[in-house]
Structure 1
């Protein structure tokens, strides 16, 4: 953390006081902290990373963590080639699960099996699964329920038409994600402000008719935390701990809070060991079941892995391998930048993936009961990262 941010946090120590009880920050203090976060984000060498998560709260995992059972069902030569590809591309972790067994687990650099890995947008499928669990338990009625049933501030406004499905599938009509160096810009305030949740709910603009367009926006992912908290009466970090991580035997970690005792970031900014992200993929590969217990319904997994007319390769928090597109990014397909190379079609029609910034990927192939994880720093520009290499190396070996 840089000096300016450290000073700002020191000035807010009385607000933190080691408590998770929600506290109101004076407007001046909130704006000061926002400005310090903004300056850190744009002045840190190479951009701010996990060091910018200045208020972290624990997220508990399973009480007794046990490793996944090991196996040897994938040809060693294919695993070695895939491991080499991961290593050459600045990976921190590379894991492969196949038919109930962990067949590969490699860590690079200082990362180990318990090292917290910054999620980036791997947080989004976690948040979607959290909604699926709330549906399973009857806390939310339907994906097509209006968000305004819970985000009551939207009642009587054009945002009242936005459904939960549209938020999870980036079709809410909210302002698309973009880059701005202006501290007054809503995109920055909706991410860095100590009341980012209120800003998104109150001020974030609606630019399209809900459901009419696919537009990637972190605001959609960040809306899941207040949705879960209002629907269940449980803080988001406790909900994902109790209802998602613990039931799948996953380790916990930490999550970035917008302010002491405030709202966590659900669209990003959780730190978990790589194994925990892998287990989320395994849960979906098994149709929402874990050790005989149905945690999310098969119909919900189907909804997650179904595209829309506006973007056939984008489901709810995940991306679909088919129909094939050589270059695909998280933004609307008409946006030319930020697209990832897929040099060939995936060799399984049912493959889908979690896909976060810096090529944090979890590939899920239910038909093969195969899950592949790669986390790490942004790969080198040359040779270019190819999203099809890791899964196709292994799928070819399993034919």
Structure 2
């Protein structure tokens, strides 16, 4: 039986590099910035790739002066699981999904960590895992009274959206992906990303969205919702989104490295994607939620928000909270998920966090990923 061996790199086919932004594989890992050097990120692979939001279109979020320590405690884990009637190994899953970064935490102990054409200082593209950071920022702003209620209409804070499909739609309905705007994620996100690449202000695109169905009546995954929420954070707090994330999340949660957050030509952080961070810092974010919002002995995220955002937000989709995907089956696990196989998985019951970064992955691999992560979490708990 094959094993997860923290002393060796992933086995299997080499991960191919990609030199262009394509629908088949958007995620290109970005190499580490020096912690204090505000210089552009270079790709980890030998072939260069374009910036996701255009040259220089990003902000830097600085780390904590006192990072949360993650202790290396390698452990051999034999992991198999059954999916669609087949018995599979976790190693094979990692190879098939072209994984080039993996961190498994047992509390604050790193029990498995491996990289392919990358290392612990590589900044990986988050893609839609960023949505869970945006949700966290909303929760903190709500707790501080900067946002009166998530049942407020977004136009209370962003009056420029009056007359658009977002007019009168509640913050809650954006968070649970039920805004009612006419949107098709498969076809509209590439257009959105291309517009950002070409220097168009995304806020103007948001103001052009039209109503397609009754808000709060169904689930429709919509990245534009997350952009609007990030812009709302800036407007409600009087602080740029990336700076609020730095002050309220990144530093107090004990992150160890600088992160890049992409923005549009108007200076608005995209919010739905494009955090470039190390897998260890993504794991620290998972650890923050594992500990119900606490880090370094302080409550960083309100415990009530952690619980609310990671429980079903609507009867029409019990598998989604407030910008978090839920495991279901009464297990209480949840994860942030991004295009191409990016994951932060949290199992409160077993005290485990798993981060996985990939160049690309098969479409709709989230169900298998959940099954595989649950098997790893169970094995970590069993061998504790």
TM over 0.5: yes
2:71 counterpart of 1:69 = yes
Displacement, 1:48?
Answer: 8.4
Local SS of the residue matching 2:272: coil
User: Which deviates further from its counterpart, 305-314 or 120-129?
Assistant: 305-314
Find the aligned partners of 2:27 and 2:290 in 1 and give their Cα distance: 34
Question: Any gaps of 5 or more consecutive residues in structure 1?
Answer: 1-39, 324-347
Contact 1:140 1:231 in 2 (8 A): yes
Local SS of the residue matching 2:251: helix
Aligned residue number for residue 106 of structure 2 = 98
Aligned residue number for residue 309 of structure 1 = 315
Displacement, 1:89?
Answer: 3.1
Local SS of the residue matching 1:247: coil
Q: 5 Å matches for 1:318-337?
A: 318-323=324-329
Pick closer, same or farther for the CA change 1:359–1:207 going to 2, 3 Å: same
Question: Any gaps of 5 or more consecutive residues in structure 2?
Answer: 1-19, 29-48, 81-88
Q: Give me the CA root mean square deviation.
A: 3.1
Pick closer, same or farther for the CA change 1:205–1:314 going to 2, 3 Å: same
Contact 2:290 2:346 in 1 (8 A): yes
**1:322-352 alpha-carbon deviations (Å, 9 max, x no partner):** 14xxxxxxxxxxxxxxxxxxxxxxxx71111
Aligned residue number for residue 348 of structure 2 = 366
**1:35-85 alpha-carbon deviations (Å, 9 max, x no partner):** xxxxx857x99668662332222222223546412346x654449x64564
Aligned residue number for residue 38 of structure 2 = none
Q: 5 Å matches for 1:348-359?
A: 349-359=331-341
Aligned residue number for residue 390 of structure 1 = 373
Local SS of the residue matching 2:72: coil
Displacement, 1:102?
Answer: 2.2
Displacement, 1:394?
Answer: 3.3
Structure 1 length normalisation: TM-score?
Answer: 0.73
Q: For 1:255, which of 255, 261, 273 is the aligned residue?
A: 261
Structure with the higher fraction of residues in helix conformation: 1
Find the aligned partners of 2:252 and 2:228 in 1 and give their Cα distance: 24
Displacement, 1:194?
Answer: 2.2
2:53 counterpart of 1:53 = yes
Q: For 2:224, which of 216, 219, 227 is the aligned residue?
A: 219
Q: 5 Å matches for 1:10-89?
A: 51=50, 52-54=52-54, 55-65=57-67, 67-71=69-73, 76-78=77-79, 82=90, 85-87=93-95, 89=97
